[in-house]
Amino acid sequence: MDKGFENNAAQKGVSSGSIEFVVAETISKVLNISMELIHMDANINDLPRIESIKLLRVIAKIEDRYDIEIDDSVLSGVSTVGNLVNEIKKALKGTVHEQA
């Protein structure tokens, strides 16, 4: 079992300024949970204390930090923390997400 993002970040070469770290840190702060509970394969809906309004707060904070906008239709397909990170990376690159 993954021991959590914070413990494994340095081993995986993830810096504190990386998107992965920022997402995990933002989730941790908004949900008021330990970063040890957050890993890239974690299902967002299974995180402790998750509610739709808190998830929207997470997204808003990330959008503000990176000056991006992630379309709601994209977010409906995001199930894991890693999926969210990938969508943020796409938004930063200006990649348009097309649904099948």
Residue 25's CATH number = 1.10.1200.10
Q: How many Cβ atoms are within 10 Å of 95's Cβ, its own excluded? A: 11
Is there a domain that residue 99 lies in? no
Tell me which residue range forms the domain holding 61: 5-93
Vertex 58: Cα angle to 37 and 79 (nearest 5): 65
Is there a domain that residue 12 lies in? yes
According to the model, what pLDDT value does residue 6 have? 53
Is there a domain that residue 70 lies in? yes
Is there a domain that residue 98 lies in? no
According to the model, what pLDDT value does residue 76 have? 87
According to the model, what pLDDT value does residue 94 have? 84
Write out residues in the chain with pLDDT < 70, as ranges. Answer: 1-16, 95-100
According to the model, what pLDDT value does residue 4 have? 56
Backbone angles phi, psi at 4, to 5 degrees: 110, 155
